[in-house]
Structure 1
Amino acid sequence: MAMTYQFIDKYLAESLLEPTFVIPRLRWIAAGVAIATGNTGQKALLLEEYIEAPEHGFVKYVHNGEAVPLLDPTDTGYETAQFLCFTQHVQWEKTSALAYISDFQGYGSLLTDPQIMTHPSLGDLFAAGNVPEAFERFPTEHICNDFCTWFDLALLEPSHSSTV
């Protein structure tokens, strides 16, 4: 999220206007890898911040197979899903159409278990969730929203997905 918030903060610092909407401040849960060594060899363990289960469960905002919110406009959390689609657009631009984060889920201000999506020319990276077909469809599936428009992001064109 740092790339997106740096983009937002720089834009706001240079703008004479204030946005007409609330900008969510989200964060990834803390995580790390630990290597345990014992008599039987080594094991790699993924450690994640402990979070209390929310009363109403986790929310899946955006799936890694499509570049649109999973929520309906009347659902609680829809604005967050729109913001997360905007973050994908920022990442797409800032990486010259090489990568973006998807599979957004969490609750409140917390996000967990993302999927990094990369251009197929970069090879088989980040496991099976990095779906090449979904990456190729991103510029035609992404629907610019109020965040994209207010922050003057370029309209996406299908030709972006086939260039490196």
Structure 2
Amino acid sequence: MHRRAFRTKMQAGQIPLLLPGHCCVLKVHNSISYGIKNNDELVQKNFTLAVEECHVQNTAREYIKAYTTAAESVKAFGAAPEIIPIFLVHRPSNDVPYATLEQELIGDFVKYSVKDGKEINLKRRDSEPGQKCCAFQHWVYHKTDGNLLVTDMQGVGMRLTDVGIATCKKGYKGFKGNCATSFIDQFKALHLCNMYCELLGLKSLQPKPRKAASAPKARAPPPAAPKKKSFGPTVKGKS
């Protein structure tokens, strides 16, 4: 809705991991005319959106690198997901000169987690990549004391792209994400730990159920006192 994506190839350049002839995806934000008075403001808006996209994804990439390091200390964990790098490109001959460029992911594209936490994706819940993505979200939430959450995780297999970040209202360590703060609260309310959360020693975010107060045992009634026989007046026999 807000971007157009194009399959393209690198012709020249020195971007790491993307060699000339390599298949790539170029993403361009649609021109937003509302409130734009001249072309300079349009270009500035285009630049701001493209930079924000790079900032968010590459920030999430740094968090998942630290997550991978933590996972490597647990033998049973296996491979961790990867967030691919994204690059800012400038095309001076184009009316919308700024765009982002990333490697093309080939295969079935799956959403493992959504922004608001309301959608249930069976492939997310049952698959190994999906469970590891949810454990990554829990790990980041724990490491930032609930102030930051990587969300909208999606991609092909273990390779992810186009992620989002939600932060508390004031931001976290000078960084503000591109998703609503409410996503953090929704994640806390809806996240169910899986085996990878347990392997990393993460504690459940769900409150422990309170033990129901046991009803007081009914006391046995005291034994009834034996009834006394009542004797009526003695009737004297007639003479």
TM norm structure 1: 0.71
More strand by share: 1
CA–CA separation in structure 1 for the residues paired with 2:154 and 2:80: 14
Task: Quote the residue 1:15 is aligned against.
Answer: none
> What amino acid is the match of 2:195?
D
Cα distance in structure 2, aligned partners of 1:2 and 1:67: 27
Residue 195 (structure 2) aligns with? 146
Corresponding residue for 2:132? Answer: 83
Aligned to 2:80: 25
The equivalent of 2:103 in structure 1 is 49
Aligned length: 142
The 5 A counterparts of 1:122-137 are 122=171, 125-127=176-178, 130-137=179-186
Deviations 1:71-115 (A, max 9, x none): 25885xx22111111001110111121112111111123111101
Which residue of 104, 120, 127 corresponds with 2:169?
120
Residues 71 and 78, structure 2, Cα contact 8 Å, conserved in 1 = no
Q: Which runs of 5+ in 1 are unaligned?
A: 13-17, 159-164
Higher relative contact order, chain-length normalized (CA < 8 Å, sep 6+): 1
**1:59-70 alignment to 2 at 5 Å?**
59-66=110-117, 70=121
Q: What residue in structure 2 maps to residue 104 of structure 1?
A: 153
**1:48 CA displacement:** 1.2
Q: 1:139 to 1:68 in 2, by over 3 A?
A: farther
In 2, Cα distance between the equivalents of 1:156 and 1:74?
17
Whole-Å separation in 2 of the counterparts to 1:144 and 1:111: 21
Give yes or no for contact 1:71–1:81 (8 Å, CA) kept in 2. no
**5+ residue gaps in structure 2?**
1-63, 208-239
TM-score (norm 2): 0.51
The CA RMSD measured in Å over matched residues stands at 3.0
Q: Structure 1 stretch 110-119 or stretch 24-33: which is displaced more?
A: 24-33
Q: State which structure, 1 or 2, has the greater radius of gyration over its C-alpha atoms.
A: 2
